[in-house]
């Protein structure tokens, strides 16, 4: 066994030295022969030293293990057990239990990792659904806000128009009432004055019928001068007494026509007043109908406005709530993703560490199983 190890080590060293020599020759062919001689001497010294120590390979492996925390603790434990003269079987059992425990730990960690990944997937899926729902809510609420705001503007304009129309209607009705009152007052005045005119014409007609035509003109003028300012009718009669029979007859006919015309005007005026009053009442009825229709339309628009304002407020609250939900879900998702990433990092780190530790335990087991003498020598030197 020792001979085989020595031959193998010697052959390896020769191969290494041969490669080194080739590299040196290729790179620095211009170097002096002295440098080659020195390198050969150094190589020969190394060869002699390593070839003379049969446990060099085991020592190198164990020294490398000493550089790791796990290897150092393991060698400390083995050294302590060997110091206490524990059987080699107990040491092997200790190493086996340690290796199997590490493997079980890794298996448990893998189960936890699978559960964590499932939890991450489920929770992130839930957060994504919440984010999608909240985003849709914000979009729909924003559209509703825009639509309701436009409807409110239209309804507000409609109400203002209805108020303006009502004001115009009231103004028109008031003007009509004032005009009707003025017309009625004028009618009443005519009802008083026109009969008096007719009565005056009757007096004139009776006076004219008693006149003798072609009277003394000077006497008539003197009489007109005397009574003209006090009694116009009498003055007119006195003047008519100067007319010829034909002219007097013509005047009497004109007065009769005028009287008939005035009497007819009284009748016509009465009928027109009656018709005007009927038209006035009809107009008032139409005004009332228009006012009722406008008031109903205005009330309906006001009700719609109130309802739309409530819908707008609800849409704004919906958008606000959806915004808070979006922020909450986004924050939760980010925190969960960070947590999951930390789990993955921890799992990868622990898996790598356990893999290294299992490999170290296996290496120690292999050394103790195949190179016990060299390992025992190393550990004894370590104890001493």
* pLDDT, tens digit, 9 for 90 and up, residues 155-186: 999 999 999 999 999 999 999 999 999 999 99
pLDDT of residue 48 exceeding 60, the answer is no
Among 158-172, 190-204, 291-305, 344-358, name the one with the lowest average pLDDT: 190-204
Q: 82 falls in which pLDDT band (50, 70, 90)?
A: confident
CA distances from 342 to 117, 128, 284, 355 (A): 12, 20, 85, 20
Quote the pTM value: 0.58
Query: What would the pLDDT profile of 190-205 be if each residue is shown by its tens digit?
Result: 889 888 888 888 887 7
pLDDT for 6 beyond 70? no
DSSP 196-255: HHHHHHHHHHHHHHTPPSS--HHHHHHHHHHHTTT-HHHHHHHHHTTS-HHHHHHHHHHH
Token pair for 225: 């001068």
- Joined tokens for residue 16: 């290494």
More confident residue, 255 or 328: 328
Q: What is the mean pLDDT of residues 313-339?
A: 97
Distance CA 166, CA 302 (A): 15
pLDDT value of position 256? 83
Q: With beta carbons less than 8 A apart as the criterion, state whether 181 and 246 touch.
A: no
Q: How far apart are CA 134 and CA 139, in angstroms?
A: 9
> What average pLDDT does the segment 14-24 reach?
35
What integer pLDDT is reported at residue 107 of this predicted model?
A: 96
Which comes out higher in pLDDT, residue 370 or 340?
Answer: 340
Q: How confident is the model at residue 340 (pLDDT cuts 50, 70, 90)?
A: very high
Q: What is the mean pLDDT of the chain?
A: 79
**Res 109: pLDDT:** 96
- In angstroms, rounded to a whole number, what is the distance separating the alpha carbons of residues 271 and 253? 27
The CA distance from 273 to 187, in Å, is 7
The Cα-based distances of 74 to 55, 111, 374 in angstroms read 20, 27, 17
Q: What is the pLDDT of residue 274?
A: 94
Mean pLDDT of 205-215: 64
What percent of the chain clears pLDDT 70, i.e. is strictly above it?
74
Q: What percent of the chain has pLDDT over 90?
A: 49
Give Cβ neighbours of residue 28 (< 8 Å, ≥ 6 apart).
Answer: 35
How many Å separate Cα 53 from the centre of its chain? Answer: 81
Over 80: is that where the pLDDT of 207 sits? no
Task: Give 222-280 pLDDT, tens digit per residue.
Answer: 444 444 445 555 555 555 555 567 776 777 788 888 888 888 888 889 999 999 999 99
């Amino acid at each position: 066994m020792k001979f085989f190890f020595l031959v193998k080590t010697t052959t390896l060293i020769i191969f290494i030295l041969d490669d080194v020599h080739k590299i040196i020759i290729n790179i620095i062919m211009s170097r002096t022969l002295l440098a080659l001689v020195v390198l050969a001497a150094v190589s020969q010294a190394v060869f002699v030293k390593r070839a003379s120590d049969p446990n060099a390979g085991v020592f190198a492996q164990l020294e490398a293990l000493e550089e790791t925390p796990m290897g150092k603790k393991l060698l400390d434990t083995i050294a302590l057990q060997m110091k206490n003269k524990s059987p080699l079987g107990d040491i092997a059992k200790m190493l086996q239990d340690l290796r199997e425990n590490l493997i079980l730990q890794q298996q448990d960690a893998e189960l936890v990792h699978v559960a964590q990944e499932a939890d991450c997937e489920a929770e992130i899926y839930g957060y994504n659904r919440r984010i999608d729902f909240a985003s849709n809510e914000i979009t729909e609420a924003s559209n509703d806000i825009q639509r309701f705001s436009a409807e409110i503007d239209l309804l507000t304009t409609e109400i203002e128009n209805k108020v303006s129309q009502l004001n115009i209607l009231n103004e028109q009705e008031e003007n009509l009432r004032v005009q009707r009152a003025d017309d009625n007052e004028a009618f009443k005045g005519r009802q008083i004055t026109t009969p008096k005119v007719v009565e005056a014409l009757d007096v004139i007609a009776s006076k004219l019928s008693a006149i003798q035509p072609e009277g003394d003109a000077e006497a008539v003028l003197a009489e007109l001068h005397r009574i003209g300012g006090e009694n116009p009718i009498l003055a007119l009669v006195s003047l008519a007494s100067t007319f010829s029979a034909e002219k007097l007859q013509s005047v009497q006919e004109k007065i009769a026509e005028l009287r008939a015309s005035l009497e007819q005007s009284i009748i016509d005026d009465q009928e027109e007043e009656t018709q005007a009053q009927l038209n006035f009442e009809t107009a008032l009825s139409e005004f009332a109908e228009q006012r009722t229709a406008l008031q109903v339309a205005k009330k309906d628009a006001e009700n719609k406005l109130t309802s739309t304002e409530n819908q707008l407020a609800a849409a704004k609250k919906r958008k606000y709530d959806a915004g808070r939900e979006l922020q909450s879900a986004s924050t939760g998702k980010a925190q969960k993703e960070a947590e999951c990433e930390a789990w993955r990092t921890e799992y990868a780190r622990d898996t790598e560490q356990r893999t290294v530790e299992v490999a170290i335990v296996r290496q120690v087991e292999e050394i103790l199983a195949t190179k016990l003498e060299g390992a025992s020598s190393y550990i004894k030197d370590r104890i001493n």
